[in-house]
Chains A and B, each alone.
Chain A
Amino acid sequence: MGRVNIAFCGVGRASLFGGLMTKIVRRAFVAGAVLSAFSPISRANAQQTVKIGVLYPLSGNAASAGNYSKMAIELGADLVNKGDPELAKLMPIAKGGGLSGLNGAKIELVVADNQGTPAAGQNQTLRLITQEKVVAMVGAYQSGITQTASAVAEKYGIPFVAPESTAADLTERGFKWFFRTTPIATNFAKAYSDFLKEQKAAGLKADSIAIVYENTEYGKSTSTAIGDLFVKEGRNVTMKVPYSANSTDVQPQVLQLKEKNPDVVVFISYTSDAILYTKTLKALNWKPEIMMADSSGFNDQAYVKSMGHEVEGLVSRSAFAPGKPGSIAAICEALYKKKTGGDGLDDVSSRSFQGFLVLADAINRAGSTEPAKIQAALKATNMPADQMAVGYNGVKFDDKGQNTLGSSLLIQMRDGHYVPVWPKAKATANVILPFKGWTK
């Protein structure tokens, strides 16, 4: 009965769409509610496929990232449905032949475009759940859209897996159906802190730390997470330099750094400022012992192409490491390249891929398409590090639905390209410090 009530609550919202839509939606709601209330199991048997809603920006500003994520998830579905002999030896779910827990039921992706707006993300999620009858959702790249889309899924009691959105508050809403596989700023902070501890033990100067950050939501929340953890772990943050993004000039900030001369600088910046900082550091000829960046601007291809050779030895983060030949990551990347026609997995697409695999694994273990059973299976997820296609230590959710084993690996700029250097188990090259910077 409870589910039927929930469905009627939804009718009031749907009246926003106008009369005709309301009628159609109302019918779909009632039908869907009745179906899911009375016959969840027969539904699975009748379908022989498991429908998963896939919500990404396929148009609008972030369309490029959304399309790469979509392709990564399609690759994930291919692995479950068709399998890959090489990967099957390392990952049971890649055996092919569908989900073994559901008598070989195939996964059917229902892809929807969130158009880069929270409203479209909400409407599309409503459509996927009430009309397409998806049993779980995955998406939606932008945190703001994940926020509205997952609220719809929460209302209908459909599990929602968020592989990429890092805004901290997403897992602070008390949701029961929301699961996030990506690490968030606190995880990154831990990686930076551990890394610096090791470097200090190795004899590098890492006693004073400066954090330079742009002062919007991203920079502020990330710098707070890093600063708080550093202080807790006894690392000495001597300077915090907030600045307004899209500056016309960053010389004073660099001169402040030059004056205080910290051993370590962590930059949290978008692309335009990342370029300015790099140019200004070189012009005023100051470099720290260790220069670190929190991905974003410093990982942008435009930055790497134009500034890569000026920041030899820069340490940044990424969720993806190409991995050694024969590893899960290496095989997945080769398969992905085949699918995209040459483009490899990157920080975002690899996290989408991993999030989808976690969901597929949970449905398999649930042995059912009943949302509540999938939810229970997600809660019980305990995927070890050796099953990861990305650099996480595994996947295990806390009560809020946040993956507690998410972690990033650190990458270092070498001759214009990033290579994974930390932790050792996932590295393909050794850390080379102090920071070299511009080489000519």
Chain B
Amino acid sequence: MTTTLLLQVVVSGLLLGAVYALFSSGLSLIWGMMNVVNFAHGEFVMLGMYTAVVVWTAMGGGPWASVPIAAILIGTLGVLAYFLLVRHIMRGPMLAQILGTFGLALFLRYGALWVFGANFKTLPDDLVGHSFILGGIRFEGSRVLAGAVGFIVTVLLHLLLTRTSVGSRMLAVSEDATAAQLMGIRPQRMQALAWALAGAATGIAGALVATFFYTSPTVGETLAIVAFVTVALGGFGSVLGALVAGLLIGVVESLSAFLIGPVYKDVIVYAVFVLVLWFRPQGLMGTT
């Protein structure tokens, strides 16, 4: 085994991890803002992917067109989900919150099955540009773009939350909505904004993932599991934690699949996951 090949495995893992981070940040944001787990998160990704497929089939547009459109569409979907569903179920018992977004997930999944059909769709792989070689290592254009955007979006979300007044207001609402209201902040407006941002980030993720993955109504199921693990490992509510956790999972997964065997990779990933949570139950970068 050559060093180049091993480096290739690590690079593949890092790029994969950046994508995991990208479609986990929205989930993390929602949790951090309002302690609600969005079980429809995978379906948001799925709809972002279909946006890319439709943009391409209808007008031949690549990610430059589909990413902004998906951001707007899924961001809007997030706001709608907040006002029509989440705002109401937040007053209910914990079980209602879980089943509420889970119901939304099923509604979106079977809605997609009805509208788009069960068949797998794919985008042409030269939509983003061919793969290139750097130092003997192959970089796939579409994955590099997705990974880079994932990195940037996550860092931007983190900066927004920690370095801007809007971010401070959002965090204030998540800390104590009543106190924030007394300070002149409208909690519902901030929470709706969180759903819009989370939806937009998830839509962007979907549109980019679609350039190298297949799209089908049930693809959300496949991807959502990774998102939940990433968010839990990174620390619920920590956007930057999701980035670190995503990269860690990507590399561990790639290396263990390559060195030990693909069927064992999940065992290793979840062993790491359990170990980290054993010592840091709040996740890598979460706060207690």
Q: Which residues of A contact B223 (CB under 8 A)?
A: 248
Known: A255-B12, A279-B212. A306 touches B5 (CB 8 A): no
- Asked if B263 and A244 make an inter-chain contact with CB atoms under 8 angstroms apart, the answer reads yes
A251 touches B254 (CB 8 A): yes
Q: Which residues of A contact B126 (CB under 8 A)?
A: 440
Q: Which residues of A contact B138 (CB under 8 A)?
A: 283-285
Contact B120 A252 (CB under 8 A): no
B31 contacts chain A at the CB level, 8 A cutoff: no
| A276 close to chain B: CB less than 8 A | yes
Residues of B close to A248: CB separation below 8 A: 16, 222-223, 226
Given the known interface contacts A248-B223, A249-B16, A283-B212, the answer about A243 and B254 at a Cβ–Cβ threshold of 8 Å is no
Count of residues in A whose CB is under 8 Å from the partner chain: 33
Q: Looking at B253, B257, B262, which has the most chain A CB atoms within 10 Å of its CB?
A: B262
Q: Closest approach, in angstroms, between the C-beta of B35 and any C-beta of chain A?
A: 27
- Cβ distance A345 to chain B, nearest Cβ, rounded Å: 21
Q: Contact between B262 and A244 (Cβ–Cβ < 8 Å)?
A: yes
- With A242-B261, A258-B5 known as contacts, the answer to whether A252 contacts B12 (CB < 8 A) is yes
Q: Which residues of A contact B263 (CB under 8 A)?
A: 215, 242-244
Chain B, range 227-279, C-beta contacts under 8 Å to A: 253-255, 257-258, 261-263, 265-266
Evaluate whether A255 and B214 lie within 8 angstroms (CB atoms) in the complex, with A241-B262, A283-B140 already known. no
| Residues 138-170 of B at the A interface (beta carbon under 8 Å) | 138, 140, 143
A282 / chain B contacts, CB cutoff of 8 Å: 125
* Bound Cα distance A249, B214 (Å): 11
* CA–CA, A391 and B222, complex, Å: 37
Considering the complex, give the chain B residue whose CB is closest to the CB of A307. B122
Of residues 398 through 440 on chain A, the ones whose CB sits less than 8 Å from some CB of chain B are 440
**Residue of chain B at shortest CB distance from A253:** B262
User: Is A306 in contact with B258, judged by CB distance below 8 angstroms?
Assistant: no
- Do A244 and B212 touch across chains, with their CB atoms under 8 A apart? no
Residue B1 is within 8 A (CB to CB) of chain A in the complex:
yes
A sample of 8 cross-chain residue pairs with beta-carbon separation below 8 angstroms, ordered by A number, consists of: A244-B262, A251-B12, A253-B257, A276-B214, A279-B122, A283-B131, A285-B138, A306-B121
B-contacting residues of A (Cβ < 8 Å)?
Answer: 215, 241-244, 246-253, 255-256, 258-259, 271-272, 275-276, 279, 282-285, 300-303, 306-307, 440
Chain B contact residues, CB within 8 Å of chain A: 1, 5, 8-9, 12, 16, 119-122, 125-126, 131, 138, 140, 143, 212-214, 216, 222-223, 226, 253-255, 257-258, 261-263, 265-266
